[in-house]
């Protein structure tokens, strides 16, 4: 009865007295193997979850992660009345980098860009690789002034120092589009559309610049 109760409470094994040394060693080895298997299975699940929300090249979050957290940010902003900002950033003339130096170098540039981007953000900001050479930054509780300052810091961090890859110094610039969420006037889609429109305005305006589009 006690043995059944012990197993119900979470016990993995049991041994009778008097204890046989060889049996005890065999059971301990079995429990160690089981523990290693369970740990490996748990780590595999965690890696799978991490891969589902991360970009394998840059180590940043991916678009799926952005969409999930932007929905939460929208709900929070609607409840509190405190907005947030979305910044879209696109590396200028990235195709030229791939064409002139190869895709391996292009990948190194993307990794370095992600590193510089992360260094410019607040701990509460969420940086994601949106796709290709385009990135998105979700800035929680950031107004236009705060978000604009971060965007400008990113721009300067990218363009003021060359990206050195395999001995090659490559000058890189980034165009950025910024939109601030307006509770009661915005939703996920309208915010993303405004940030995209601001990004394309930055491209049309000569690149290596930040453009802002306000809610209509």
pLDDT tens over the chain, length 216 residues: 565 565 455 566 666 677 667 766 667 777 777 767 566 556 554 554 455 568 999 999 999 889 888 989 998 888 888 889 999 999 999 999 999 999 999 999 999 999 999 999 999 999 999 999 999 999 998 999 999 999 999 999 999 999 999 888 999 999 999 999 988 888 888 999 999 999 999 999 999 999 999 876
Interatomic CA distance for residues 94 and 75, integer angstroms:
35
Q: Which of 112, 133, 176, 211 is catalytic?
A: 133
Distances 153 to 75, 121, 160, 183, 209 between C-alpha atoms, Å: 28, 9, 11, 26, 11
Strands 174-180 and 210-212: parallel
Write out the two tokens for 142.
């950031």
Residue among 160, 159, 156, 117 nearest 139 (CA)? 117
Measured at the alpha carbon of residue 38, what is the angle toward residues 37 and 44, in degrees to the nearest 5? 90
Confidence (pLDDT) at 16: 67
- Whether 133 is catalytic is yes
Confidence (pLDDT) at 13: 62
Query: Which residues of the chain form beta strands (DSSP E)?
Result: 85-91, 126-131, 134-139, 163-165, 168-170, 174-180, 210-212
Signed CA dihedral, 171, 63, 215, 85: sign only: negative
Residue among 127, 87, 106, 104 nearest 172 (CA)? 106
Confidence (pLDDT) at 21: 74
Confidence (pLDDT) at 54: 86
DSSP letter at 54 equals B
Q: What is the pLDDT of residues 92-137, one digit of tens each?
A: 999 999 999 999 999 999 999 999 999 999 999 999 999 999 999 9
Residue among 136, 131, 132, 140 nearest 154 (CA)? 136
Confidence (pLDDT) at 147: 96
């Amino acid at each position: 009865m006690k043995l059944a109760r012990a197993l119900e409470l979470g016990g993995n094994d049991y041994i009778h007295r008097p204890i046989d040394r060889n049996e005890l060693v065999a059971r301990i080895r079995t429990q160690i193997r089981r523990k290693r298997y369970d740990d490996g299975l748990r780590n595999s699940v965690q890696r799978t979850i991490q891969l589902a929300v991360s970009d394998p090249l840059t180590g940043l979050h991916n678009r799926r992660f952005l969409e999930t957290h932007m929905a939460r940010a929208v709900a929070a902003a609607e409840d509190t009345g405190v907005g947030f900002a979305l910044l879209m950033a696109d590396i200028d003339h990235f195709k030229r980098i791939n064409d002139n130096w190869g895709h391996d170098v292009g990948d190194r540039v993307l990794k370095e860009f992600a590193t510089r981007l992360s260094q410019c953000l607040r701990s509460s900001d969420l940086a994601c690789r949106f796709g290709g050479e385009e990135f998105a930054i979700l800035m929680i509780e950031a107004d236009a002034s705060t978000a604009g300052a971060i965007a400008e810091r990113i721009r300067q961090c990218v363009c003021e120092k060359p990206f050195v890859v395999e001995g090659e110094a490559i000058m890189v610039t980034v165009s950025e589009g910024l939109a601030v969420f307006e509770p009661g006037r915005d939703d996920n889609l309208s915010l993303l559309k405004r940030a995209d429109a601001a990004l394309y305005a930055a491209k049309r305006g000569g690149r290596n610049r930040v453009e802002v589009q306000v809610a209509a």
